């Protein structure tokens, strides 16, 4: 089923007309309501009238994650707080979270794009959807939740973790759709096997997986082990949350809800737009958002776009699975982690940040994060309990800053390899 | 009375202790006392050496985390209850001991290296009770 055939199957000219109209409205609004945007446009010698169509998009300045941080917490909002009905936040690059606000209309838009995504995945109102994404500041849980309700499916808002209960409800309630991170689905599959539950005993038929990178091999494994169709959903809180794009049942790229979010692909070095089909950094401009519209927001995700009509009938442009990042962000168990966050935690402990190395592994199906910290003079004590206390303090502080547990190991100075004087900060041993 | 103990951080991996002893030995530095405290992941090597400042530089040049720590050394009769008496005194006077290591010199006496929480008070208490402290210069020569 196609939820909004008019938009999802519009021909390119129709779509461009919609995008142009909405883009012009958005640019006018932010120019008048957000000082930082107005200043950026003025610096580029632009007034709202310079934007006459989607083709003029490339004239506009980019927005980056640090813009949100510099205007922390609500400086980028374009409406008074009385209009904001929901706030979400994701981890920022240096400790301060990236905050986004939604108006009532924004929440409706979000529900709409998630409902479209669910339909793309083949979910319908008879389905029982178990949402095992975290509920809370993270957009995963609540984003999926309202989209499912809007569709009319039955929602089990179980949130993340608590694997035994996940399996119990899956059996007792006859869950037919599972929404979680792909790695958690594989973990569930393992636990099922350990508990002697066969996939034939369950009614699962579709999985909606996102919030972290995964490969085609993982997809095959998930589909085989759980006996389901595994669908990739994409989103980021800055733009909306899950539902920015999603695969249809043909699994040939994720359809971007481009009547709400205009995608571009740029060269991350020259910042110039790249022609369709080339791999580059994905950039989004939101054109219906009220709370915090973003112009040419650099996602740092590397991918490519395909404008051909899909077999499913949709004309919405498709994006490939993300092929990597143009910055150093890591996604660990669905949580965004920047090495700079770790550095700022270590800096709080001493005057000079020690050398450190992050090692990401995938043990079984779960990502683990190990941090090696060189014990230099500023950290060193002759007493074991002091060193143990230091290790615990770092562990605890990282847990509260990043929201995931980190195994901290103290190592000797110069243990961590330097290249040209600069230490390597991250080793990602996951095979993605 | 304050003795400079050489303290070195070492990871639990083969050959590290050996490297320290080789480095010091090659520079003709002698060790008069040594203790190795270990946890599951790392160890702390504590040593009394003939030339602590020089030894510190040598280890730092070789990229070890090392420092000098103030400790005291008590010379006690090598007989039952001698250590117990000394510890009784310290505990009664409220001196807390972070760690200690001890070794017999011969049949007559033993040396006990102490790291108290308050080194000044520790020395005062021991001296007030006429207990014998080893002088730093003597300690380094052993």
A164-193, pLDDT tens digit by residue?
999 999 999 999 999 999 988 988 998 999
User: Are residue A173 and residue A235 in the same domain, yes or no?
Assistant: yes
**Nearest-CA distance A373 → chain B (Å):** 12
Domain with A386 in it: 332-428
User: Are residue A197 and residue A168 in the same domain, yes or no?
Assistant: yes
Cβ distance B65 to A376 less than 8 Å, yes or no, reads yes
Using an 8 Å Cβ cutoff, are A170 and A204 in contact? yes
User: Are residue A280 and residue A400 in the same domain, yes or no?
Assistant: no
Enumerate helices (H) and strands (E) in chain B, giving the number of each: 5, 7
Judge whether A373 lies within some domain.
yes
Structure confidence at residue A408 (pLDDT): 92
Residue A249, SS3? coil
* Strand runs labelled E in A267-405: 280-286, 297-303, 305-306, 318-319, 324-325, 330-332, 335-337, 356-363, 366-374
- Sort strands B97-104 and A280-286 into parallel, antiparallel or unpaired: unpaired
Cβ distance B44 to A412 less than 8 Å, yes or no, reads no
Cβ distance A412 to B65 less than 8 Å, yes or no, reads yes
- What are A109-145's pLDDT values in tens digits? 999 999 999 999 999 999 999 999 999 999 999 999 9
What is the rounded distance in angstroms from the CA atom of residue B122 to the CA atom of residue B87?
Answer: 11
Using an 8 Å Cβ cutoff, are A103 and A85 in contact? yes
For an interface test with A, which of B3, B19, B20, B42 has the most A Cβ atoms less than 10 Å from its Cβ? B42
Judge whether A56 lies within some domain.
no
What is the rounded distance in angstroms from the CA atom of residue A355 to the CA atom of residue A422?
Answer: 10
Structure-model confidence comparison of residues A431 and A411, the more confident one: A411
CATH for A415 = 3.30.300.30
Residues of A in contact with B115 (CB under 8 A): 382-383
| C-alpha closest to that of A197 among A172, A229, A220 | A172
Structure confidence at residue A329 (pLDDT): 86
Judge whether A51 lies within some domain.
no
Q: Does A380 touch chain B (CB under 8 A)?
A: yes
Cβ atoms within 10 Å of B70's Cβ, excluding its own = 14
What is the rounded distance in angstroms from the CA atom of residue A130 to the CA atom of residue A157?
Answer: 6
| Bond before A45 cis per omega within 30 degrees | no
What's the number of domains chain A is made of?
2
For an interface test with B, which of A382, A383, A390 has the most B Cβ atoms less than 10 Å from its Cβ? A382
Structure confidence at residue A420 (pLDDT): 55
Residue A411 structure tokens = 């190592």
Domain boundary among A294, A327, A360: A327
Judge whether A45 lies within some domain.
no
Chain B residue nearest residue A408, CA to CA: B41
Chain B residue nearest residue A380, CA to CA: B65
Judge whether A11 lies within some domain.
no
Residues of B in contact with A375 (CB under 8 A): 9, 42, 65
Judge whether A143 lies within some domain.
yes
User: Are residue A322 and residue A336 in the same domain, yes or no?
Assistant: no
Question: Chain B: which residues have CB within 8 Å of chain A?
Answer: 5, 7, 9-11, 16, 37, 39, 41-42, 44, 46, 63-67, 69, 98-99, 115
Cβ atoms within 10 Å of A414's Cβ, excluding its own = 15
Residue B117 structure tokens = 């929480």
CA angle centred on B63, ends B58 and B64, rounded to 5°: 80
Q: A407 pLDDT exceeds 90?
A: yes
Q: B45 pLDDT exceeds 90?
A: yes
Residue A119 exposure: Cα atoms within 13 Å on the Cβ side: 21
Cβ distance A412 to B7 less than 8 Å, yes or no, reads no
pLDDT band, residue A422 (cuts 50/70/90) = low
Judge whether A35 lies within some domain.
no
Structure confidence at residue A353 (pLDDT): 65
Mean pLDDT of A255-280: 96
Q: B63 pLDDT exceeds 60?
A: yes
Structure-model confidence comparison of residues A400 and A23, the more confident one: A23
* Phi, psi dihedrals of residue A406, rounded to the nearest 5°: -130, 135
- The closest CB to that of B41, out of A377, A409, A414, belongs to A409
Q: A351 pLDDT exceeds 60?
A: no
Q: A32 pLDDT exceeds 90?
A: yes
User: Are residue A211 and residue A296 in the same domain, yes or no?
Assistant: yes
**Nearest-CA distance B35 → chain A (Å):** 12
Residues of B in contact with A374 (CB under 8 A): 65
User: Are residue A93 and residue A220 in the same domain, yes or no?
Assistant: yes
Q: A357 pLDDT exceeds 60?
A: yes
- The closest CB to that of A382, out of B16, B39, B46, belongs to B46
Using an 8 Å Cβ cutoff, are B73 and B112 in contact? yes
CATH for A297 = 3.40.50.12780
Q: Does A418 touch chain B (CB under 8 A)?
A: no
Q: Could you give all domains of chain B from N- to C-terminal order, each with its CATH number?
A: 3-69 (3.30.2130.10), 71-141 (3.30.2130.10)
> Per DSSP, what are the bridge partners of residue A306?
A318
B91 Cβ partners below 8 Å, 6+ apart?
Answer: none
Cβ distance A388 to B10 less than 8 Å, yes or no, reads no
User: Are residue A125 and residue A236 in the same domain, yes or no?
Assistant: yes
Q: A249 pLDDT exceeds 90?
A: yes
Measured in whole angstroms, how far is the alpha carbon of residue A224 from the centre of its chain? 26
Residues of B in contact with A384 (CB under 8 A): 37, 39, 44
Structure confidence at residue A14 (pLDDT): 97
What is the rounded distance in angstroms from the CA atom of residue B61 to the CA atom of residue B84?
Answer: 41
User: Are residue A309 and residue A337 in the same domain, yes or no?
Assistant: no
Angle between helices A182-194 and A216-226 (to 10 degrees): 30
Chain B residue nearest residue A409, CA to CA: B41
Mean pLDDT of A152-162: 96
- The closest CB to that of B37, out of A380, A384, A414, belongs to A384
Domain boundary among A295, A327, A359: A327
User: Are residue A227 and residue A374 in the same domain, yes or no?
Assistant: no
User: Are residue A87 and residue A234 in the same domain, yes or no?
Assistant: yes
**Nearest-CA distance B16 → chain A (Å):** 10
* Phi, psi dihedrals of residue B119, rounded to the nearest 5°: -70, -35
Residues of A in contact with B17 (CB under 8 A): none
Residue A331 structure tokens = 């996604």
Structure confidence at residue A432 (pLDDT): 62
What is the rounded distance in angstroms from the CA atom of residue B70 to the CA atom of residue A127?
Answer: 71
Q: A318 pLDDT exceeds 60?
A: yes
Residue A313 structure tokens = 């009938």
Judge whether A58 lies within some domain.
no
- The closest CB to that of B98, out of A380, A383, A412, belongs to A383
Structure-model confidence comparison of residues A213 and B29, the more confident one: B29
User: Are residue A263 and residue A379 in the same domain, yes or no?
Assistant: no
Q: A91 pLDDT exceeds 80?
A: no
User: Are residue A198 and residue A129 in the same domain, yes or no?
Assistant: yes
Cβ distance A377 to B65 less than 8 Å, yes or no, reads yes
**Nearest-CA distance B108 → chain A (Å):** 31
Structure confidence at residue B46 (pLDDT): 96
* Phi, psi dihedrals of residue A285, rounded to the nearest 5°: -120, 125
Residue B99 structure tokens = 């760690």
Q: Which pTM was predicted?
A: 0.75
Q: What is the DSSP code string of B77-105? A: ESSTTHHHHHHHHHHHTTPPEEEEEEEE-
């Amino acid at each position: 089923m196609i939820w909004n055939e008019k938009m999802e199957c519009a021909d390119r000219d129709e779509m461009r007309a919609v995008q142009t109209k909405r883009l012009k409205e958005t640019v006018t609004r932010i120019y008048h309501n957000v000082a930082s945007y107005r200043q950026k446009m003025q610096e580029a010698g632009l007034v709202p009238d310079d934007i006459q169509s989607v083709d003029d998009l490339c004239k506009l300045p980019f927005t980056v994650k640090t813009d949100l941080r510099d205007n922390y917490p609500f400086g980028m909002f374009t409406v008074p707080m009385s209009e904001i009905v929901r706030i979400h936040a994701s981890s920022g690059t240096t400790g301060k979270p990236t905050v986004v606000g939604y108006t009532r209309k924004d929440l409706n838009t979000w529900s709409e794009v998630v409902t479209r995504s669910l339909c793309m995945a083949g979910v319908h109102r008879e389905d029982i959807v178990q949402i095992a994404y975290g509920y809370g500041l993270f957009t995963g849980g609540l984003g999926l939740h309202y989209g499912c309700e809007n569709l009319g499916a039955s929602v089990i808002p179980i949130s993340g973790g608590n694997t035994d209960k996940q399996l119990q409800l899956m059996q007792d309630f006859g869950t037919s759709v599972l929404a979680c991170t792909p790695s958690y689905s594989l973990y569930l599959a393992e636990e099922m096997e350990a508990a002697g539950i066969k996939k034939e005993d369950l009614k699962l038929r579709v999985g909606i997986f996102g919030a972290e990178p995964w490969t085609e091999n993982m997809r095959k494994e998930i589909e085989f082990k759980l006996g389901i169709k595994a669908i990739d959903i994409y989103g980021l809180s800055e733009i909306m949350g899950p539902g920015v794009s999603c695969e249809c049942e043909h699994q040939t790229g994720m359809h971007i809800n481009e009547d709400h979010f205009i995608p571009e692909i740029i060269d991350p070095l020259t910042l110039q737009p790249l022609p369709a089909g080339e791999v580059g950094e994905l950039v989004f401009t939101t054109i219906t958002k009220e709370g915090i519209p973003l112009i040419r927001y650099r996602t740092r995700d590397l991918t490519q776009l395909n404008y051909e009509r899909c077999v499913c009938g949709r004309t919405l442009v498709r994006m490939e699975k993300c092929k990597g990042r143009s910055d150093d962000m890591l996604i660990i168990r669905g949580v965004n982690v920047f090495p700079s966050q770790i550095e700022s935690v270590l800096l709080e402990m001493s005057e000079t940040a020690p050398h450190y190395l992050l090692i990401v592994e995938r043990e079984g199906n779960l990502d683990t994060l190990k941090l090696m910290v060189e014990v230099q003079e500023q950290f060193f004590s002759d007493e074991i309990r002091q060193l143990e206390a230091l290790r615990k303090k770092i562990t605890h502080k990282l847990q509260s800053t990043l929201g995931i547990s980190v195994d901290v190991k103290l190592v000797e100075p110069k243990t961590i390899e330097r290249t040209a004087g600069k230490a390597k900060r991250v080793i990602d041993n996951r095979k993605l | 009375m304050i003795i400079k103990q050489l303290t070195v951080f070492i990871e639990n991996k083969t050959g590290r202790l050996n490297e320290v002893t080789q480095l010091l030995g090659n520079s003709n530095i002698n060790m008069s006392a040594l203790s190795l405290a270990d946890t599951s992941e790392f160890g702390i090597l504590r040593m009394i050496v003939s030339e602590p400042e020089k030894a510190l530089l040598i280890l730092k040049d070789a990229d070890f985390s090392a420092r000098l720590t103030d400790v005291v050394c008590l010379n006690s009769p090598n007989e039952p209850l001698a250590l117990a008496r000394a510890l009784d005194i310290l505990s009664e006077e409220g001196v807390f001991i972070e760690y200690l290591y001890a070794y017999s010199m011969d049949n007559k006496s033993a040396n006990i290296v102490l790291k108290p929480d308050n080194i000044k008070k520790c020395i005062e208490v021991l001296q007030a009770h006429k207990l014998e402290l080893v002088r730093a210069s003597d300690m380094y020569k052993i």
